Amino acid sequence: MTKFLGYWKDLPREWQFAISAFVSVRIFLWIWSLAVYFLIPVAVSNISLYDEPIVTVFDLKTSRGYSFSRQVKDEILLFRAVNTEYITDIQTGSVWSLEGGNAITGAHVGDFLNPSSYDIEEIFPYKGVLPAQNILLGLWQRFDANWYLKIAERGYDGADSSTVYFPIYPFFIHVLSYLIPTVFAATVISNLALLGSLVLMYRLFLRFADESSVRRSLVYLLIFPSAFFLTAVYTESLFLFFTLFFFDFASRRNWIWAAIWGTFAALTRLQGVLLFIPLAYMFWRDYRGYPLRTVFSRAMPLLLIPLASLCFELYSNFTLLNIYGDTWRARFVFPGETIWVAISLIFSGGGSSVDVLNLLTTLGVIVSIFFIWKKLPFEYTLYSMLMVIAPIVRLTDAQPLVSMMRYTLLIFPLFLLLGLWGKNHWVNRAIMYVSFLLQLFLSAQFVLWGWVA
């Protein structure tokens, strides 16, 4: 123990703080997911998918899913769980078997629930990947996580939508899975990337703020309502890690390494190609007035970023637009239209609480960009603007600002701004309390297969 304490004291303070904060959050999320598991072992959702009323049931213990139509004769029923084998409708209290779909007690005895028109894989999409046997991992194996695991295990398939997911993360998972199980490998990568990101943010933010503000910034990131995605099998933490290295080297005018890290980011997420724009701006600012031959020769590495994205699109036969349009039912519009559709949806009564949170997050980030511009060099404002615009030029009418809370995690200058504002005790308390409670709610919904981002 004494030897360990000696090593700990020798660590730089950014590593000490990053490790402490990371471990605290990681342990808390595991405990919280287990609490959800024991309190709500069966997740029942009464929803409508394209005007079809259905009930979905998911057993968190066995990872078994069910999907039935909620319409029995001329009545639309609402259901809740009884246990892992039965559900009951609220209207009559009849008890229904999940295995047979038949009512075994109550007014509906003799009636059956029809299977919904949706395959269970469409409701709980595992993409052919086996659910993790370890409950601490399996509870977080949801939605896009299974796309990355599927690609890591079986590669891309032109017949599905897998080519919309970029290759670096599943490649790392594939390599590490030779040593440890696939889900565990993916979780290790995401969590190590998060830890590295915290250290890099700490160092980068110290250039612009005092240490207490920097520490608040990191805490605000970790308790942000959607921050649990940083530790899940998603690309947010890896993209953030590459992007922070990109800005670190670009700020020191090391264009080659900045381009390399930007290339990694471009192969992690679609938005990564946009790093070319702030890099080109910083390069132009540094080389104004130089001879054109010098400018062109030194600018060549910058092209690695768009070239990487282009190569992946060539590999996937430019299927991205088709997937957005045909599979995801999305179209490209001006950003203002997406926001207006979101506002209209909410005030018409058709929006959910998640739609409201996405709208408030989007508007808050847009307003904050002005303050980022006042506090930080312009390249950080440019990056923040691009990370806001990129997702809201894609419009899906059912969820206009889909995943904006998750995409906001990538706008790291926002968290430095919040850290500075947090010097005010009332602002600090508001951020801490609201963020923490919302993360409890959203992460629980995610564990229960609720789409939150």
Task: Report the C-alpha gap between 149 and 174 in whole angstroms.
Answer: 8
- Domain ranges in the chain? 42-123, 135-447
Sheet of 64-69: strand order equals: 42-49, 52-59, 64-69
Q: Which fold would CATH assign to domain 42-123?
A: Rieske Iron-sulfur Protein (2.102.10)
9's tokens: 């004291």
* pLDDT tens-digit readout, 415-434: 999 999 999 999 999 999 99
Please report the pLDDT score of residue 396 as a whole number: 85
* Residues 198/22, Cβ–Cβ less than 8 Å: yes
* 3-state helix/strand/coil string of 348-391: CCCCCHHHHHHHHHHHHHHHHHHHHHHHCCHHHHHHHHHHHHHH
Give me the residues of the chain with pLDDT under 50, please. none
Structure confidence by residue, pLDDT tens digits, 107-158:
999 999 999 999 899 999 999 999 999 999 999 999 999 999 999 999 998 7
**Interior angle at CA 35, CA 32 and CA 38, nearest 5:** 155
Residues 6+ apart with CB under 8 A from 393: 332, 333, 334, 335, 338
Give 66's strand partners. 57
**Lookup result for tokens 């921050």:** 227
Predicted structure pTM score = 0.95
The three-class DSSP label of residue 112 is strand
- 395 close to 338: Cβ distance less than 8 angstroms: yes
Query: What is the DSSP secondary structure assignment for residue 452, as one 8-state letter?
Result: -
pLDDT value, residue 1: 64
| Segment 43-62, tens digit of pLDDT | 999 998 878 999 999 999 99
